[in-house]
Structure 1
Amino acid sequence: MSTTASDPLATLGSLPGVADAVDSVRKSVDRVYGHRVMRRRSHEITGEAALRGARGSAALSGADWNLEEVRRRTDFSGDTEARTIGAALRLTSEAGQLLSIWRQSPLRVLARLHLVAAGGVAPGDTVGRPRLAGEPVDEPLIEAPLPHADEMTGRLEGLAGLVLAGSEAPALVTAAIVHGELLALRPFGSCNGLVARTAQRIVLIGSGLDPKSVCPAEVGHAEEGRAAYIAAFEGYLSGTPDGMVAWIAHCGRAVELGVRESTAVCEALQRGAA
């Protein structure tokens, strides 16, 4: 059996340029994990990374709030932007609790993530399940053609199968493909971007690359900006080697920018300024 057939994610990992992105991410992650503050106050870094990651993910879904406003608010039941922020915060809080289930049933985790994000907002009979034929999808920013429900279901099951089968691919590659495929499929009626970015977070944590969840890629995606995010995603949609490499490299830069954010938090704590 060929490598492509037996481990397609590993095949993507062998594309020219991917190894450099993976190596750069690994070195960046190792540096923040080696910071002296991480050895004593990692729980504080994890909490800040969750908050900042949620803010970044919400920004990409149309709710670009100041970090201090996100930190200050306690009620997120108001307008659409407030609900988006609240959904992103709930998802980042939930991510770390779903690792063992992800390894056994990715589809259950995705359903749970959608329930957490959209419960109480979306129509009750659409929450926590993939969309059916003819059901609309409300997804800010992503304007790519929407796969038919039958195609979506087949590809979603295929993605879950890849996760369950395991791979020799680096964590960055697996996380990027999970993220990109969920954006492409938009399996739910709402909150697909938020769910996709949370799934990426779960892969990075569960793989051991970022076990303490202190490297919020969502921060980096937001910092790179919506235009760059969409341009890289279009590379994923193209399915070409160059497009896939561009998407994986973009996800790698996002992780590195998340690392930079957490490193700054470490430095502030060390100075006693935070």
Structure 2
Amino acid sequence: MADPVRVPTDDPLAWLTKLEGVPSALAAARDGVDAMLRDRGMRQTYPEQTGESLLRGAHASAVLEGSTSTIEQVRDGEGDEIARAALRVSTGMLALVPTIGTAPLQAFARLHALAGKGDVDEESLGRPVNAAGAERLAGLGETMLATNQPAILVAALVHAELVTVAPFGSYNGLVARAAERLVLVARGVDPASVVVPEAGHLALRAQYESNLRAYRDGGRQGLHAWILYVTEAVTRAVEFSPLRDPR
């Protein structure tokens, strides 16, 4: 993505909430998540529901990364290497909730290490492939620590940056989608991690891929389109939550 025009502000992302349609789209997406939780009477969620959400997310993320494994294979710990990598990320990601809010670069590195364990050279795990990637990661981390803008907006930026900059030598998509989920959990949108954002993106795959290209190549207009797309994907993600399943 071409560097966006920055408007001087104490919060580096505040200007994005002034873009046409963004405030209402962010509010609608957040309301969709909140409504699902209210539908369940704000009662306690259960570990098995979180586990199922993570499993569904692992499968969807793996498919977006090129896996041909079924969700049943993922559930059984089988499937191709991409699916196994996605499952490793899914299993370990929630331990990084505190880290994503205080040391995001460490969280990104750990997500890549989880994905690449046993498949990527040990010296390459969690390490950017070049100085340009390291610089963009550092800038992203600084932005995350400096902003108090809505979590869905922050998650959208984190996701797109990690995919399009591709700072690691492999599995950037898996890392990006896991980081998006972590931001939504850590910043209070989905504390129990029962929404499945990865499945929302898979359901909208054509739009997902085209809007990532727009983010990478389309400057401010592409960034705007990506943010609006992510709000739609979060709304769709609610439909795949285990909380929607009859109990």
Q: Give TM-score scaled by structure 1 length.
A: 0.82
Select between 213-222 and 8-17 the one with higher mean Cα deviation.
Answer: 8-17
Q: Which runs of 5+ in 1 are unaligned?
A: 77-81, 132-148
Mark the structure with the bigger radius of gyration: 1
The yes-or-no answer on 1:255 pairing with 2:234 is yes
Query: Identity of paired residues, percent?
Result: 39
Corresponding residue to 1:190 among 146, 170, 174:
170
1:79-228 aligned at under 5 Å gives the runs: 82-131=80-129, 149-165=130-146, 167-225=147-205, 227-228=206-207
Instruction: Classify 1:231/1:74 alpha carbon distance in 2 versus 1 (closer, same or farther; 3 Å).
Output: closer
**Rounded Cα–Cα distance in structure 1 between residues aligned with 2:197 and 2:81:** 21
Is this contact kept in 2: 1:17–1:245, CA < 8 A?
no
Corresponding residue to 1:57 among 46, 61, 64:
61
Select between 28-37 and 17-26 the one with higher mean Cα deviation.
Answer: 28-37
SS of the aligned residue for 1:39 comes to coil
- Which residue of structure 1 aligns with residue 77 of structure 2? 74
Instruction: Classify 1:207/1:267 alpha carbon distance in 2 versus 1 (closer, same or farther; 3 Å).
Output: closer
**Rounded Cα–Cα distance in structure 2 between residues aligned with 1:237 and 1:64:** 26
Is this contact kept in 2: 1:38–1:266, CA < 8 A?
no
**Rounded Cα–Cα distance in structure 2 between residues aligned with 1:13 and 1:88:** 32
Letter aligned with residue 143 of structure 2: L
Q: Deviations over 1:96-133 (max 9, x none)?
A: 111222222111111111111001101222122111xx
Q: Give TM-score scaled by structure 2 length.
A: 0.90
- Which residue of structure 2 aligns with residue 18 of structure 1? 22
- Which residue of structure 1 aligns with residue 208 of structure 2? 229
Instruction: Classify 1:40/1:6 alpha carbon distance in 2 versus 1 (closer, same or farther; 3 Å).
Output: closer
Is this contact kept in 2: 1:114–1:191, CA < 8 A?
yes
SS of the aligned residue for 1:91 comes to helix
Letter aligned with residue 266 of structure 1: L
Q: Which runs of 5+ in 2 are unaligned?
A: 1-5
Deviation at 1:248, TM superposition (A): 1.1
Pairs aligned (count): 242
**Rounded Cα–Cα distance in structure 2 between residues aligned with 1:268 and 1:180:** 30
